[in-house]
Structure 1
């Protein structure tokens, strides 16, 4: 399903890009008067061939404005278009997070593990490590080959090397074993926690 959605997304993006590129190129050629300069010999009725041409003629712009259904239809079409674009934008932002992981259940069919559940367990175990003041965990990749991104907030006294080693040996290893994964690549970012200075009197 994810592969089909990715392929559909690429096709739609390609078509939208081709339409926009073709329309923009045609308008640009007309605005720069390139058909005349280059003697292209475009057929009669070809749109936007001269700098003075407009995208829509006055007749096209006002053809149905006196009809009662015109403006409601225009508003409805624009509203649907905006909603579709917002939906597409949300799906693009959400596709970086892995919703589920395919776990080998031993029966040849497999089971699905919620990505957010594994993220929560990983974050909780990571926060319990000595020297870690906070942790944010995100699963990416494919459900058969998940990847892990983690941001760890280090305590002032923490040793970064020790924290990363314990994170890999404990939290990541436990998650990989519980999900039945052969490997779970992890990318870790460390940041220090800034504490507000206090005046001692």
Structure 2
């Protein structure tokens, strides 16, 4: 899959993925280190030692107030970062409005919902398609399109694909004035009607 078409497939979650990857790697490394030490592969003396070094526990006991404040600050920081991460993951995906004319004194803006409705109507007119759903995603400068088509049983998928590319997507690119419109197309087959046997 090219980088251009990746924009249409999934919402941009690069920050969330990198954060999850870093946290996962740290936890895996901590688990491997605990396994290596606990199994005694680095010496039996280390395997029988307590989790916290006695020198560290003595230092923390001598500075109890400082340790509690530090633990509280770290806990609050973890809470804030976790809430921020959760809010970003639950935030609705951005549906861009496209500015087609930026001439001084005139400004022509098309909403993402209007583009999606027009593409959906065109896609539903394709032979073999029973219904369609479209969504414009990405940014104003680099829009992308997600399209889900439900096909009638026995529909010619190749003919549907060719008509979709030739008519629907070409019309969308021309209307929006863009050379490329990355599009992710998902095809669903309608369930066959159940027939009662008598």
Bin of the TM-score, shorter chain as denominator length: 0.5 to 0.7
How big is each residue's C-alpha offset from its partner over 1:95-130, in whole Å with a ceiling of 9 and x where there is no partner?
xx563265453549x977544442232123212333
Hey, which of these two has a bigger chunk of helix by percent?
A: 2
CA distance in 2 between partners of 1:123 and 1:132 (Å)? 11
How big is each residue's C-alpha offset from its partner over 1:136-172, in whole Å with a ceiling of 9 and x where there is no partner?
2344566434443422112236433332222222221
In structure 1, what is the equivalent of residue 3 of structure 2?
none
Does residue 87 in structure 1 map to residue 84 in structure 2? no
**Gap change, CA 1:113 and 1:156, over 3 Å in 2:** same
In structure 1, what is the equivalent of residue 118 of structure 2?
121
**Gap change, CA 1:159 and 1:10, over 3 Å in 2:** closer
Displacement of 1:182: 0.9
Q: What are the within-5 Å matches in structure 2 for residues 1-201 of structure 1?
A: 12-13=19-20, 16-17=23-24, 19-36=26-43, 49-54=46-51, 80=80, 82-90=82-90, 99-100=95-96, 103=99, 105=101, 107=103, 114-139=111-136, 143-156=140-153, 158-199=155-196
**How well do the aligned residues superpose, as a CA RMSD in angstroms?**
4.6
**Gap change, CA 1:85 and 1:198, over 3 Å in 2:** same
TM-score normalised per structure 1: 0.57
More contact order relative to length (CA 8 Å, sep ≥ 6): 2
2:150–2:187 contact (8 Å) kept in structure 1: yes
**Gap change, CA 1:85 and 1:107, over 3 Å in 2:** same
CA distance in 1 between partners of 2:187 and 2:17 (Å)? 34
How big is each residue's C-alpha offset from its partner over 1:24-65, in whole Å with a ceiling of 9 and x where there is no partner?
34433322334337xxxxxxxxxxx434523699997xx79x
Paired residue total: 175
